[in-house]
Homo-oligomer: A and B are copies of this chain.
Amino acid sequence: MFITQALKRSTQLYGDRLATVCQGRERTWSEVEARVAKFAGALRKLGVENGERVAILSLNSDRYYEYFFATPWAGGVFVPINIRLAPPEVAFWLNDSGSEILLIDDRFVPILDELEGQLETVRDVIYVGEGDAPDGMRHIEDLIEAADPLEDAMRGNDDLAGLFYTGGTTGRSKGVMLSHANLVFNNMNCIHTFNYWQGMRWLHACPMFHIAGGIAIFGVTQVAGTHVIIPAYAPDLAAETIQERKITDTLLVPTMVNMLVNMPGVENFDLSSMKAMAYGASPMPEAVIRRAMEIIPDCDFYHAYGQTEAAPLVTACPPYCHVFEGEYANMYRAAGLPAVGVEVKIVDEDDNELPRGEVGEVAVRGPNIMLGYWQQPELSAEALRGGWMHSGDGGYMDERGFVFIVDRMKDMVISGGENIYSAEVEDALYQHDAIVECAVIGIPDERWGEAVHAVVRLHDDMEASAEEIIAHCHKLIAGFKCPRGVDFVTEPLPLSGAGKILKTELRKPYWEGKTKQVN
């Protein structure tokens, strides 16, 4: 199993059909494969040997797509960098991964100054943008043109294909090691789950650095579908591209779906080519999915749940869950059913499987599960204990096998031996009219181990006391789940690159010098 097989098969069978579309450039499979072989040749000339890391920091492009195949073709390991990181975080990822080559586009060239002197391993920075290469930097197109096509290094199976760093909402960012087999098997899962097919035209709207983009980069290539690539998401650009390129499939996060379907004038676009839209990463508000189903009525919707560690697909909610009455009413809120080649079970602290309906940690097994965390043997052994990947997500499985995610385990508060899921408390808080934003954390408590604590931001023109807010919660949830204290803030809560509230930051002042049990 090796990920360049997908590209080769697509070229062998559909060489003349459209493979990638980006910035008006259209390339067939034969053209893309020829470019990838030369791109790999250029990387080899730059000294890339088996197992060497090649990083990229760029908006989406066809070159980014080619990078995902050229790097393993040359024997290397890809390291796509989160485009929302601050320069010190970029430096950490590059240094931690030991990347020797960095590909960069216009958007990120300016941060090179800020990285000056901080990069320990990068020895070459190559320009992959749309204009002329900045002074002193070589253009990837010149390197490709000058290179001879390379023979595929034929790494595969358990060989490392790429490092995908996790967001790091809790603690330090970790490099998830995904093998060729992980990615190929995930392709197989995605093809069945989402009904990929040869004639599909995929819109790459999510950033390619994220493994969620991988289900398309590798999966759509596996069936020889067409990749239509926009540099970054904007609702009008997405709508125009769907109309112009007759897009059939895409993956968006709920916020993006919301921006698209509630964009003024959306009804003037012909979006009827859409056959399937997957979404995930955060809950889908009912109003948004209802509106999406109105705007593109012939489209199938899928709620997907995954993790970088699972390459990434774990479960999905099929189209028949996108209904508001009957047997499957509102079931799109579930994370869904385990994908075809994936095993899921819900376990307690001792890794015993829990009965249906009981909340525990979601554990996952399958050929898609990561090799481990880069240079973190202890964390890897802990996460993969007993052969199951411990997702860190709290959830349960219902009688029909649907998995529901309740909370991150790390965000669970353990007070007096009771597990309290912060999401449940936050749901109660959000029902208070004055609260615009909130987060629930556990803080040290001598008697109970941890105490439930709320950090809230009120609407500018509204007021509420801590007592009122706690009393409000007591009306909605069990007493032991209610906050014992409330902090008021006036600034928006700190967010991670993926848009999640950084609870680590909120907990920090309380835990200074102490050790939280769950980490």
Residues of A within 8 A of B (CB): 1, 5, 8-9, 12-14, 184-185, 188, 191-192, 196, 222-223, 337-338, 340-343, 366-367, 400-401
Considering the complex, give the chain B residue whose CB is closest to the CB of A192.
B191
List residues of chain B with CB within 8 A of the CB of A400.
13
Residue in contact with A5 in the complex, picked from B5, B192, B343, CB distance below 8 Å: B343
Partner among B14, B338, B341 whose Cβ is within 8 Å of the Cβ of A184: B341
Number of copies: 2
Cβ distance A240 to chain B, nearest Cβ, rounded Å:
32
Q: Tell which of A1, A9, A401 has the most Cβ of chain B within 10 Å.
A: A9
Please give, as numbers and ranges, the residues of chain B lying within 8 Å of A188 by CB-CB distance. 185, 188, 191-192, 340-341
A369 to B458, CA, bound (A): 62
A5 to B189, alpha carbons, bound, how many Å? Answer: 14
Q: Are B223 and A340 in contact (CB under 8 A)?
A: yes
- State in angstroms the CA–CA spacing of A188 and B342 once bound together: 12
Interchain CB contact under 8 A, B337 and A401: no
Is B401 a contact of A12 with CB atoms below 8 Å? yes
CB distance from A469 to the nearest CB of B (A): 41
Q: Which residue of B lies closest to A196 (CB)?
A: B192
Closest residue of B by beta carbon distance from A1: B367
Cα-based distance from A338 to B1 in the complex (angstroms): 15
Q: Which of the residues B8, B338, B340, B342 comes within 8 Å of A191, measured between beta carbons?
A: B340
A sample of 22 cross-chain residue pairs with beta-carbon separation below 8 angstroms, ordered by A number, consists of A1-B341, A1-B367, A5-B341, A5-B343, A5-B366, A9-B338, A9-B343, A12-B338, A12-B401, A13-B337, A13-B400, A13-B401, A14-B401, A188-B188, A188-B191, A188-B340, A188-B341, A191-B192, A192-B196, A192-B223, A222-B340, A223-B340
Across the interface, do B192 and A338 meet the contact criterion of CB distance under 8 Å? no
Report the bound CA distance from A120 to B176 in whole Å.
52
New A-B pairs, 14, CB < 8 Å, besides A12-B401, A13-B401: A1-B366, A1-B367, A5-B341, A9-B342, A9-B343, A12-B338, A13-B337, A14-B401, A184-B341, A188-B191, A188-B341, A191-B191, A191-B192, A222-B341
A13 contacts across to B, CB distance below 8 A: 337-338, 400-401
In whole angstroms, how far apart are the Cα atoms of A401 and B401 in the complex? 41
The residue of chain B having its C-beta at the shortest distance from the C-beta of A400 within the complex is: B13
Contacts of A196 in B (CB 8 A): 192
* Across-interface contacts of A337 in B (CB, < 8 A): 13
Q: Output the least CB separation between A360 and chain B (Å).
A: 15
Closest Cβ of chain B to A351, distance in Å, is: 15
- Chain B residues with Cβ below 8 Å from A14 are 401
Q: Whole-angstrom distance from the CB of A399 to the nearest CB of chain B?
A: 9
Complex CA gap A191/B14 in Å reads 21
Q: How far is the CA of A13 from the CA of B401 in the complex (A)?
A: 5
Nearest chain-B residue to A14 (Cβ)? B401
Q: Which residue of B lies closest to A342 (CB)?
A: B9
- The contact of A343 among B8, B367, B401, by CB within 8 Å, is B8
Give bound CA distance, A223 to B188, whole Å: 13
Q: Using Cβ atoms and an 8 Å threshold, which residues of chain B touch A367?
A: 1, 184
Complex alpha-carbon distance, A191 and B196, angstroms? 12
Across the A-B interface, give the 7 residue pairs with the lowest CB-CB distance, nearest first. Answer: A13-B401, A188-B188, A1-B367, A191-B192, A12-B401, A13-B337, A222-B340
Q: In the complex, what distance in Å separates the CA atom of A343 from the CA atom of B222?
A: 12
Q: Which B residues lie within 8 Å of A222 (CB)? A: 340-341
A10: shortest Cβ distance to chain B, in Å?
Answer: 10
Q: Which of B192, B342, B343, B366 contacts A192 (CB 8 A)?
A: B192
Chain B residues near A401 (CB-CB < 8 A): 12-14
Report how far A195 CA is from B401 CA in the complex, Å: 22
Q: How far is the CA of A366 from the CA of B6 in the complex (A)?
A: 11
Contacts of A340 in B (CB 8 A): 9, 188, 191, 222-223
Q: How far is the CA of A191 from the CA of B194 in the complex (A)?
A: 12
CA distance A341 to B4 in the complex (A): 11
- CA of A341 to CA of B184, assembled, Å: 9
Q: A341 to chain B: which residues have CB within 8 Å?
A: 1, 5, 184, 188, 222
